[in-house]
Amino acid sequence: MASETPILLVALDVPLAKHFDFLCKDASSDDIGRLVVVPFSGKQVVGIAVGVAHSSEVPSEKLRAVDLVQRATPPLASDILALVRFCERYYHAPFGQIAINIVPPLLRIAARQLKPPRATKPRRKTATTASAAVAFTAPTLNTDQQMAFDAISGALGSYSAWLLEGITGSGKTEVYLHAIAATLARGQQALVLVPEINLTPQFMKHIVARFPAQVIVTQHSGMAAGARLVDWRLAESGAADIVVGTRLAIFTPMPKLGLIVVDEEHDASFKQQEGVRYSARDVAVFRASTIGCPIVLGSATPAIETLDNVTRGRFKRLALTQRAVAAATLPRVEFIHLDSEKAPDGLTATLLAAIDATIKRGEQAMVFINRRGYAPALVCAACGWMPECRRCSARMVFHRGINKLRCHHCGAETKPPKACADCHETTFHPAGQGTERIEAALREALPTARIARVDRDATRRKGSAAAIFDATSAGALDILVGTQMLAKGHDFPNITLVGVVNADGAVFSADFRAAERMAQQLMQVAGRAGRSALPGRVLVQTRHADHPVYQALQAHDYARFVSAALVERQLMQLPPFTYLALLRAEAKQADKVNQFMRDAQHAAQRLSQSHAQADAVRVWEPVASTLERKAGYTRRQLMLQSPRRTALQTLLTALIAELRVSDNRSVKWVIDVDPIDV
């Protein structure tokens, strides 16, 4: 129906793939990308204007007026809107849901209060005293670094994608810094994505120290709302030269963006695991290609998909083959065979003796165990019963420090049971090890050692991880015990020994990507040893020293692991030989989600058969998710697999349209394209 008043088309944060029409008498195409506030379901909600029209299918008496068009702040830039469109198409998530959630929370809050957001004073990030040790001047690049830098800097100004593959300590950061300097010299901005900002304080210090006169801002979810907005605006106005952030930073508006760097590109944290399940790395490649700038993906252990992109000629590979510090060599990797040596409390006498000798020499050691808490289970000494979470299909993890059982999936906490639920006996034993137990065992065996634990529990307080890493650099600690938080990019020259405890479980997990992830983590952790003139050593406690993951680790040959993994993937027709998508669904009642999944499976089969043979998508049986029950919900997943991405995407589009029509309110579902845990 034609309308005299212009109609503003608004995308909302709702799970519906459509926009909504509202009257807006002064609407114009300049409003596209602006935040708006509209009446919706009896509430005022924030949306994004996506278009202007002069007619609507909605009957005029039902059309409502917008409450506010936020013109006090700039609209989302058109290239960011294009990025959202890409995510909408590729990840099959509604435009509004993506667009609203990339905007800093304070902008949304201000809009909802029908106010312009209050400006806070801009801050400048300055080099802190702790970074006094960091060189302000750039070192001379070695041959490998120079070749990599020449390639990247020569490509500035148009799209190109580079894998910067360099063993740990080979000086990738230095290549980034040079490439950033070349970008800034052209008057452009640089965007650097890192896995977890709090784990890369050294990286921040390097950047701040190297570019003291430039405006450097950050974007990550842990920032105070005011600071996040200030930094966003500096980026958006072009005033910020460098943006460093976690995955969400890929959506930061940067009018002069000239270079994107994704550090530790293999890291799983680049994939958002809730809400819109995007991969920031893959979105970054798309962004670089549309705006026309180079993207550099850096890693010592690239994702198998990334290596496949090199093989297919989509990315070009730049290799750094030597440790940058001349005297630094790769650590020697040795195995402690758990078949022939006992490990009470998780640590063998051999590993303890090696740690002791290390700290007696005045050097430092690191112990890596990929599980936090004291013990992954408590066991009844009489009958073997183990307390489980009431809302998840998972055992409760024993945290001795707070004397509680905690569910690592839903966060539920209880007191340890007084008596066994099955046999009523009252003696329990902790089973297996976590970081807390290894820490306790180390304290008992080496009472004078200065030990710190690094895991999510121990570093919850802001800045506590940074404090531990500073203390390590300053030599105030002897031993670090921790999870994969230890693996990421730290550079501690005095760490000469790395112990690996309890990695076997992850190596043999059901998830086909588990071995790849463990190979990456172990190579990263091992890379913490021997980063200076002091020789490094890695001791791995295992029952399976012949597993390809450990063999590759020992030979410092990640490529060898990748070759072995690729043979297996090809045999089983897994990525990168095929493309995957998961339909994930959950409901409070199991029969509801079962019925939904059966219907979805049949719909997918019917849709897949209507395609030409070559485009066939394989529709699997719905199965229970790895964690079948979480927070009281029963969870199922349906895998769709195809050798052709377009065939998979076409089927997903059709399937989602059917699922949305069925509108089953008791079942929550989401599509996960390129899932990383299956």
Residues that bind ligand ADP (CB under 6 A): 139-142, 145, 166, 168-174, 324-325, 489, 491
| Under rule CB under 5 A, residue 405 binds Zn ion | no
Nearer to ligand ADP (CB atom), residue 324 or residue 452: 324
| Residue 171 contact partner, candidates ligand ADP, Zn ion, none, CB within 5 to 8 A by sort of partner | ligand ADP
Site string for Zn ion, 5-34 (x = CB under 5 A): ------------------------------
Task: Work out which of 380, 503, 507, 648 binds Zn ion, going by CB under 5 A.
Answer: 380
| Under rule CB under 5 A, residue 193 binds Zn ion | no
Nearer to ligand ADP (CB atom), residue 253 or residue 530: 530
For residue 570, how far is the Cα from the chain centroid? 26
Minimum Å gap between C-beta 323 and ligand ADP is 7
162-194 burial, b at 16+ Cβ within 10 Å, e below that, comes to bbbbbbbbbbbbbbbbbbbbbbbeeebbbbbbb
Minimum Å gap between C-beta 164 and ligand ADP is 9
Minimum Å gap between C-beta 420 and Zn ion is 3
Question: The sheet that has 216-219: what strands, in order across it?
Answer: 216-219, 242-245, 189-193, 257-263, 294-299, 160-166, 316-320
Whether the CA torsion 171, 173, 177, 179 is positive or negative: it is: positive
Minimum Å gap between C-beta 172 and ligand ADP is 4
Task: Work out which of 82, 325, 382, 639 binds Zn ion, going by CB under 5 A.
Answer: 382
368 phi and psi, to 5 degrees?
A: -105, 125
Alpha-carbon separation of residue 53 from 31, 81, 140, 520 (angstroms): 12, 18, 58, 51
- Binding window for Zn ion (CB under 5 A); candidates: 70-78, 365-373, 414-422, 638-646: 414-422
Site string for Zn ion, 417-456 (x = CB under 5 A): ---x-xx-x-------------------------------
* CB-count exposure of residue 387 (10 Å: 0-12, 13-18, 19+): buried
| Virtual torsion, Cα 440, 444, 449, 455, nearest 10 deg | -10
| Under rule CB under 5 A, residue 378 binds Zn ion | no
Cβ proximity of 491 and 133 under 8 Å? no
Nearer to ligand ADP (CB atom), residue 151 or residue 378: 151
Minimum Å gap between C-beta 196 and ligand ADP is 15
| Residue 172 contact partner, candidates Zn ion, ligand ADP, none, CB within 5 to 8 A by sort of partner | ligand ADP
Q: Which residues contact 280 (CB under 8 A, 6 or more apart)?
A: 193, 246, 247, 248, 249, 250, 262, 270, 271, 272
Minimum Å gap between C-beta 524 and ligand ADP is 9
Nearer to ligand ADP (CB atom), residue 75 or residue 489: 489
| Under rule CB under 5 A, residue 397 binds Zn ion | no
Nearer to ligand ADP (CB atom), residue 263 or residue 282: 263
**Helix 78-91 and helix 95-102: axis angle, to 10°?**
130
Q: H/E element holding 599?
A: helix 590-609
One-letter identity of residue 385? W
Question: The sheet that has 20-23: what strands, in order across it?
Answer: 20-23, 2-12, 43-55, 35-40, 68-69
Nearer to Zn ion (CB atom), residue 314 or residue 429: 429
Nearer to Zn ion (CB atom), residue 407 or residue 585: 407
The C-alpha atoms of residue 294 and residue 597 are separated, in whole angstroms, by 42
Residues that bind Zn ion (CB under 5 A): 380, 382-383, 385, 389, 391-392, 407, 409-410, 412, 420, 422-423, 425
